[in-house]
Structure 1
Amino acid sequence: MTDQGTDTPRLSTREAAERLGVKPETVYAYVSRGQLTSRRNPGGRGSTFDAAEVEALARRNRRETRAGDDDGPIGTSITLIENDRHYYRGVDSTKLAERYGYEEVAQWLWTGELRPGVRFTAHTETLAAARRAVAALPAHSGLLDRLRVAAIAAAAADPLRFELERSAVVATAHDLIATLTDVLPVVGEPEPSDAPVARRMWTRLTTRAPEESWLRVLDSALVLLIDHDLAVSTVAARVAASAQAHPYAVVSAGLGALDGPLHGGASGFAHRMLMDAVERGGAAVVASHLRAGRRVPGLGHKLYPGEDPRAQALFTLLEDVPQAAEALRAAREIVATMARHVPLHANVDLALAVLTVAADMPQEAGETVFAVARTAGWIAHALEEYGEQPLRMRPVGQYRGPRPPQPPPLVPLP
């Protein structure tokens, strides 16, 4: 087809998909990533695409596919970390956090469309199943234990979980994030189920009143933690998605990788250190860590030679919260003490610790915020991976065992 009054060829969605060798829903995924532009038909039904632009993308995909045969880097259009800045689809994440809430940014990452005021609510059956499963956990179970069990129970309650069409995955993401939030025990004044995620999370992490200055910090933290390139949990999520695993399984894979001291658990160590620093002073705590041969948590990040922009943004917001002054002062003393010998800057774990300590949240609160926030990122990566060649993430092991032939093992004599 051609545009009326011009000779510019336009393709229907089906034609564009055929030329690209993908499903029609993947064509719209390219649009949401900014790799294709679409135009509504004059009649209002369907979209059309510039044939030259489609062909250019097809050529680029063929080149990237050939390059991918050599186990090169995983291509992604979600997050860029460059020159000590952090971008989502080319937009500075700190600017997004200033203007939009967690749900709005997540929805935009998944669909390419900004929906002001969008809210995530849990399906009644999904939430009920998750709550029953969580209620069966031992009393000493932590918040992350609840999230892992809730994700599995929610999957079992959803007969449509294997539908991987984009709109279905986005609907599942709404339900799952709301379920993970609402399955946590309420310790403050409960909020309605259609309140923003940040407000509902607040009442599950602290008994403090949800003042707007506090909620702004928490909502910004959720936005800034949505994605951070190919962190280990995101790689785990993408591997699951590469096998066409449903979104609940993708998130479960991410939660499994997150549950370690070097990833999600890092914020808990920073929280405990900062609690000590508020009582004894930052310099004393740094000295104690170094004397014991322990690394000082909350400092430095391999992807940021300079300052972590996420931490900078949260510290700026925390300056407007009077109740955070003491924890913020202790955190800055820790940074200043270390800077006398080692040029390490605060990372987002230390900024999260200031929030959780100042707001009287438990030690695992930072990891919980991290997990719920990153769920949106894992879904974004799953949507990207569903449009790739399935099972492309299949590395070949480098065998280091004894060379064959070897004799079979012998049964030991009695």
Structure 2
Amino acid sequence: MVRGALTWGAPVLESALTLITDGRLYYRGHDAVSLAESRTLEDVAGLLWTGTLRPIPVPLRAHLALTPLRAEDSVLEGFAHALIHAGARDLQARDARPEALPANAARVLSLLFAVNERVHGIPAAPDLTLHERLGRTWGTSPLQTDLLRRALVLLADHELNVSSFTARCVASSGAGMHHAVLGGVCALQGVRHGLSTELAYELLELAAQQGAARALSSVMRRARYLPGFGHVLYPEGDPRARALLEFMTSTCPDVPALSAAQALCEEVRREVGEHPNIDLALALVVSVLGGPIERGLILFALGRTVGWLGHAIESSAQGRLIRPRAKYVGPVPIGKTPPGE
């Protein structure tokens, strides 16, 4: 039972942040899809970090490393570098008193948005909301900026996914907020989590060039699974993906990638009965924005940072080290009798 709990099994940790039930996603009892209609990432941060649905003030000042970022560095590498630097030097963020944690979390969130701005040579704008800051950095239209807002809200948390669980474990050790988020950023680097968005983007591009059936065959030969489709927790379809796809269908129907996405959805539903998940939706968001491919992962990281910080706050408040035991299956030590004999 315990072994199965680690792979989509029974709940193993208590949390008041996020509930996934009956095909829907809730942040502290509020439907995430409904929140995405009008709320900002700051609103959701306030809800997840304090239990109150009101925006958390996000400070402009960020502890950025003075060393220049190299042209070949990715934005996520910039995130990691800044988190290590600030984690060692931001004295205020080390304040572990419960009442200080939401403000400390806001400093970390602001840091990552500032890193993205710095990479693009854009000065920070204190009078803008986070999605507007991101849109300004990427040069998006007002409609595209609203799409970013919706995506950020829908990505904010997703229970004990691998990156959130990692952030929670790091925080349980007594490490600070920056290092908890750094753990989450590292967990995004795998193809079973964050990088699956990039595989879905490649599938979408191939479908636009070769058609849905050929693209699916080509990608499945290499990936051995269907990137962008299916989710264990949503057998009837990922509500986050559905909300974003419906919004893009109604607001930008002429984007060529939309036709490719629709063809992929029809082909997959007919052949294997799976529905699109958040990875395909993010891939389409990147296509609507005009790329590059890394933007999907950046958007994922910036939105999910709110959840990572929420789990870090909750883990710190619980005051317990997350330290599961391993079921040993190796060689029996010399001189010991195997169990059961």
Q: TM-score, normalised by structure 2?
A: 0.88
> Match for residue 171 of structure 1?
103
**Which runs of 5 or more structure 1 residues have no equivalent in the other structure?**
1-70, 407-414
Paired amino acid for 1:74:
L
> Match for residue 82 of structure 1?
21
> Match for residue 112 of structure 1?
51
**Which runs of 5 or more structure 2 residues have no equivalent in the other structure?**
1-9, 336-341
1:91 matched to 2:21? The reply is no
> Match for residue 395 of structure 1?
324
In structure 2, distance between residues paired with 1:188 and 1:172 = 25
Paired amino acid for 2:59:
T
1:146 matched to 2:78? The reply is yes
With over 3 angstroms needed to count, the CA separation of the structure-2 counterparts of 1:105 and 1:291, relative to structure 1, is: closer
What is the aligned-residue RMSD (CA, Å)? 2.3
In structure 2, distance between residues paired with 1:200 and 1:239 = 30
With over 3 angstroms needed to count, the CA separation of the structure-2 counterparts of 1:236 and 1:402, relative to structure 1, is: same
- Is 2:28–2:51's contact at 8 Å kept on the other side of the alignment? no
With over 3 angstroms needed to count, the CA separation of the structure-2 counterparts of 1:324 and 1:224, relative to structure 1, is: farther
In structure 2, distance between residues paired with 1:283 and 1:397 = 43
> Match for residue 193 of structure 1?
126
- Is 1:190–1:200's contact at 8 Å kept on the other side of the alignment? no
CA deviation map 1:100-154 (0-9, x unaligned) = 11111111221122335x5523325x13x3xx24x2x543221211111111112
Which secondary structure does the structure 1 equivalent of 2:94 belong to?
coil
> Match for residue 61 of structure 2?
123
- Is 1:79–1:86's contact at 8 Å kept on the other side of the alignment? yes
Paired amino acid for 1:141:
D
1:202 matched to 2:135? The reply is yes
Paired amino acid for 2:61:
H
Q: Mapping of 1:17-36 within 5 angstroms?
A: none
- Is 1:318–1:324's contact at 8 Å kept on the other side of the alignment? no
Quote how far apart the aligned CAs of 1:405 are. 4.0
Quote how far apart the aligned CAs of 1:255 are. 1.3
Which secondary structure does the structure 2 equivalent of 1:345 belong to?
coil
- Is 1:86–1:93's contact at 8 Å kept on the other side of the alignment? yes
Quote how far apart the aligned CAs of 1:382 are. 1.5
Which secondary structure does the structure 2 equivalent of 1:161 belong to?
helix
> Match for residue 6 of structure 2?
none
Quote how far apart the aligned CAs of 1:244 are. 1.9
- Is 1:310–1:347's contact at 8 Å kept on the other side of the alignment? yes
> Match for residue 213 of structure 1?
143
Pick the structure with greater CA Rg. 1
In structure 2, distance between residues paired with 1:215 and 1:293 = 32
- Is 2:27–2:47's contact at 8 Å kept on the other side of the alignment? no
> Match for residue 339 of structure 2?
none
With over 3 angstroms needed to count, the CA separation of the structure-2 counterparts of 1:380 and 1:153, relative to structure 1, is: same
Counterpart pick for 1:346 among 271, 276, 299: 276
Q: TM-score, normalised by structure 1?
A: 0.73
Paired amino acid for 1:327:
A
Which secondary structure does the structure 2 equivalent of 1:387 belong to?
helix
With over 3 angstroms needed to count, the CA separation of the structure-2 counterparts of 1:188 and 1:287, relative to structure 1, is: farther
Quote how far apart the aligned CAs of 1:182 are. 1.4
> Match for residue 31 of structure 1?
none
Paired amino acid for 2:27:
Y
In structure 2, distance between residues paired with 1:337 and 1:213 = 29
> Match for residue 5 of structure 2?
none
Counterpart pick for 2:168 among 238, 242, 266: 238
Identity %: 36
In structure 2, distance between residues paired with 1:336 and 1:174 = 41
Quote how far apart the aligned CAs of 1:295 are. 2.3
> Match for residue 371 of structure 1?
301
Moved more, 242-251 or 190-199: 190-199
In structure 2, distance between residues paired with 1:188 and 1:148 = 18
Paired amino acid for 1:196:
T
CA deviation map 1:195-215 (0-9, x unaligned) = 1111222243x3x4x322111
In structure 2, distance between residues paired with 1:261 and 1:246 = 27
In structure 1, distance between residues paired with 2:268 and 2:114 = 39
Quote how far apart the aligned CAs of 1:359 are. 1.1
CA deviation map 1:310-345 (0-9, x unaligned) = 001111221243376321211110111122221110
Which secondary structure does the structure 2 equivalent of 1:76 belong to?
coil
- Is 2:203–2:219's contact at 8 Å kept on the other side of the alignment? no
Paired amino acid for 1:160:
Q
Paired amino acid for 1:120:
V
1:333 matched to 2:272? The reply is no
> Match for residue 13 of structure 1?
none
In structure 1, distance between residues paired with 2:134 and 2:26 = 25
Paired amino acid for 1:85:
R
Quote how far apart the aligned CAs of 1:229 are. 0.8
In structure 1, distance between residues paired with 2:72 and 2:319 = 43
With over 3 angstroms needed to count, the CA separation of the structure-2 counterparts of 1:304 and 1:324, relative to structure 1, is: farther
- Is 2:156–2:306's contact at 8 Å kept on the other side of the alignment? yes
